[in-house]
Amino acid sequence: MVGPIERLADLFWNGLKRGVSPRTVRNLRKELRQSALAKIGIVVVVAIVLVAVFAPLIAPHNPTNQHLDKSQLPPLGFSKTTTQTTSQMVNGSIEVVNQTVTVSATPKYPLGTDALGRGMLSRVIYGARTSLLVGLFGTFIAATVGVTVGLVAGYYGGKVDDALMRSADIMLAFPSLVLAVALVGLFGRAVVRVPDPLVKAGIAPNMPETFALPGTVIVVVGLVNWVWFARVARGEALSIEGQEYVKAARSVGANDGFILRKHILPNSVTPILVLATIQIAAIILLESALSFLGFSGTSLSWGFDIAQGRDYLASSWWISTVPGVAIVMTVIGINLVGDWLRDALDPGIEGEGGGV
C-alpha cells in the first residue's frame, strides 16, 4: 500500500519530468537514493519552509506579546536557580532579604521565554520567515545582477570583460559583512510591512497582522553576493560562446541579445542553480549577522534574538541558543540540498560561493 509520503514523492518527480530532461531526473533520483545526507537536508528544508509559511497556525503564542511575569522561563527539561531580593519589616525596621528561588519550565513555553516573557518557540517560528525571505529575495537579486554581468563579460570579452570583472575583483577585496554594514549605513534601514494572509483571513486572529520585511537588507545582501554569480556565469559564457550552435545562430543573423537569451543563458542554468542554493545559506548567515548588529530593522529575526540574549548567557542561555540552533539547522539543511544538486547536476563545481 502506497503511503502519503510516497504519493507526494511520485507527484514531485512526475511534475519535475515535465520541466527538465529525463536524464536530469534520473540523476537526481539516483543521487538521492545513494545519499542519506541529501534526504536529511530535504526534510530539514521542507520542514523549515512549512514552518515559515504557516507560522501563524503553528506558533503557540503571539511572538510580540510581552509577559513580564513569565520572564526568562527555562525550556522543558531544565530549571533555573535565581536570587530574588525582597524587603521585610523586622522589629520595626526594613531589612533586605535575599532568597534563592528555583524556576521550573512550563509546557506552555516549551523552549522557554526571553527577558520580556515572549515565547522563544513562537519567535523562532516567525524568525524563519525573515531568514528565508531575505535568503530567497537576496539570492534572486544577486543572481540577476551577477548572471547579467557574467554573461556579458564572458560573451564579449576584451575590454568589456576586463572592466566588469575588475569591478568584481574590487568587490571581493572587501569582507562581505563590512561591505554590507557600509551599504546599510548608506541606504538607511527601510522596512516593508507585509500583510499576513492567514491572519487577514481570520484563521489566526491573535497573531500579528503584518510582518516586517527588511527591504534594505535584502537589496544589500544581493549587491554584496552578485560577484559569485558573475564568476560562474562568465566561465559558462566563455565555454559556450565558441560552440557550433552559437556560431550557427550568428551566421543566420541572430543579434547578441537573442544569442545570450536563447543559447548562452539556458545552457548556463545548471551551475547557476547549484550556486543559488548554496548562496541562500550564505545570505541567511549574513542577514543574521546584520540583525545581530542591529541593522535589520525587524525584531522577528534569529540574529536579533541572539543579540538580545547575549546579556543573559550566564543565567538564561536559551535566549541566544535556541535561535542559534535554528540558524545552524537551516544552513546545514540548505547546504546538504545544494550538495545533492551539485553532485547530481554538475559534479565539476567545487567550492564556488561566498561567506560572511
pLDDT digits (tens, 9 = 90+) for 325-351: 999 999 999 999 988 888 887 655 544
Q: Tell me the residue range of the domain where 104 lies.
A: 76-108
Contacts of 246 (CB under 8 A, 6+ apart): 240, 259, 263, 264
CA distance 232 to 335: 18
Express as a percent the part of the chain with pLDDT over 90. Answer: 36
Q: Which three cell numbers stand for residue 42?
A: 530535504
End-to-end CA distance of the chain: 48
- 13-44 tens-digit pLDDT: 555 555 456 777 777 788 888 888 989 999 99
CA distance 97 to 76: 30
Q: Is 195 part of any domain?
A: yes
Q: What pTM does this model have? A: 0.85
Do 113 and 13 share a domain, yes or no?
no
Total number of residues shown for the chain:
356
Q: What is residue 89's predicted lDDT score, i.e. its pLDDT?
A: 65
Amino acid 72 reads Q
Residue keyed to cell 570583472: 165
Q: Is 9 part of any domain?
A: yes
Q: Is 240 part of any domain?
A: yes
Do 232 and 279 share a domain, yes or no?
yes
Do 169 and 205 share a domain, yes or no?
yes
Average pLDDT over every residue of 182-206: 86
Q: Is 297 part of any domain?
A: yes
Q: How would you class 230 by CB atoms within 10 Å of its CB: exposed for 0-12, middle for 13-18, buried for 19 or more?
A: buried
